[in-house]
Amino acid sequence: MNRFLLPILTFSTIACSPQYGMKIDGGTLDASVSDTTDDGSGDVGDGDDPDDPDEDLSMYEDAVIRIVHPESGDFLPLGEIHSFEAIIVNPEGDELPFDDVFWDSDADVEWGPIGGTIEDDTIDVGRHNITAQVELPDGSRLAHTVGGVLVQHEDAGTYVGDMILSMDTELGGTPIGASCIGAAFVVVDEYGDAAEGTSACTMDLLGYMTIPVDHSFAYDLDVTDLDGNAFVDIPFMGSGLPFPSEGTIDEGDILTTWEGGVSGIFELAGTLDVTRITREITEL
C-alpha cells in the first residue's frame, strides 16, 4: 500500500495549515517538527534517514491518524477548555507513540496547537473543519479531518415563542383595556453579547377598532441578565417607541418584561417569553 495515500474517514476532508509549512501532497514540515521517535525497544533513532540501520521504522507501515475528540458535528462552547486528541494506529489497531501532531481549522487560521492530546480554550467562533496532521519518521504524511464542529457562546442561537402585550387607554372618555399575543423571534449572536428580535400582534379595542402592533427588541447580555429596549409601533400613536426592558437568559430560555406609555393616552405592559430551537444563527 502506498505510504503517501492519506486515510480519510467518512465526512472528512483534508486541509493544510500554511502556518506550519506543511503540504500533504509532497511538501515538508518546517524545522519545528520533531522527527525523533521511540520504536518501543528503548532505542531512539535520529529519524533523519528512513534507511538508518539503527532504527526500525516498520511499525509505521500503513499507519493512519485518527481524531478521537472532537467528533464531527460536536458543539464546543466558546471560551471553555476543550480536549483535542489524535492518535496514530497501525493496521492492527495498536496505538503508536508519536506526539508531533499539528492541528488547524479552516474557520480560524490563527488557531494551531501542537500535540497528540491538548487542552485548549482559544479556538474562535465558527463552524470548523478541524484537521490533525503528522509527518512520521519513515516519511509518511498523514491527515484526518472532522467536519461541522460548532464553536460559539453557550447562549447563542435562534429563539421562538410568544410576546404578550396589554394596553390601557380611553376611547370617547371610556376606559378600555385590551391585549394580544404574537409570535416572537429572537437571535442571540455567536459571541453571546447581544440579542435582537421581532414580534407582531393585532389588538382589538372592544370591537371599536383593531390595531396592528409591531415590536422589535434589542438587548445587551451580561451572563444571565438582559438589558435593553422593546420598540413598539402603534398606528396614530407612535413609531419605534422605546420601552426600557430587562430580563434573564437561562439554559435556552429568555424572559423579559417592559411597561410604560404616554400619559393620558395609553399605558402598555409586555412580556417576551421565548425558547431556543436551534444553535444556528438565523437572519432576522
Q: What is the pLDDT of residue 116?
A: 95
Q: Count structural domains, the chain.
A: 2
- Tell whether 102 and 31 lie within a shared domain: yes
- Tell whether 228 and 244 lie within a shared domain: yes
Phi and psi (nearest 5°) for 20? -100, -5
pLDDT tier at 139 (50, 70, 90 boundaries)?
very high
Q: Which of 65-79, 154-168, 255-269 has the lowest mean pLDDT?
A: 255-269
- Residue 10 forms part of a structural domain: no
**Dist. CA 50–CA 210, nearest whole Å:** 84
- Residue 274 forms part of a structural domain: yes
Q: What is the pLDDT of residue 15?
A: 35
- Tell whether 133 and 243 lie within a shared domain: no
Q: What is the pLDDT of residue 271?
A: 97
pLDDT exceeds 50 at position 48: no
pTM of the model: 0.76
pLDDT tier at 51 (50, 70, 90 boundaries)?
low
Domain range for residue 237?
A: 157-278
- Tell whether 120 and 225 lie within a shared domain: no
Choose between 44 and 123: higher pLDDT: 123
List strand residue ranges (DSSP E) for 39-140, in order.
44-45, 64-69, 75-77, 82-89, 95-96, 102-105, 117-120, 126-135
- Tell whether 52 and 79 lie within a shared domain: yes
Q: What is the pLDDT of residue 239?
A: 85
Residues 135 and 25 sit within 8 Å (Cβ to Cβ): no
- Tell whether 42 and 60 lie within a shared domain: yes
Which domain-ending residue is among 95, 129, 152? 152
- Tell whether 168 and 205 lie within a shared domain: yes
Residues 143 and 14 sit within 8 Å (Cβ to Cβ): yes
Choose between 258 and 266: higher pLDDT: 258
Cis peptide, bond prior to residue 70, ω within 30 of zero: yes
pLDDT exceeds 90 at position 189: yes
Q: Which three cell numbers stand for residue 17?
A: 495549515
- Tell whether 123 and 196 lie within a shared domain: no
Kindly report the CATH number assigned to the domain that includes residue 69. Answer: 2.60.40.10
- Tell whether 58 and 112 lie within a shared domain: yes
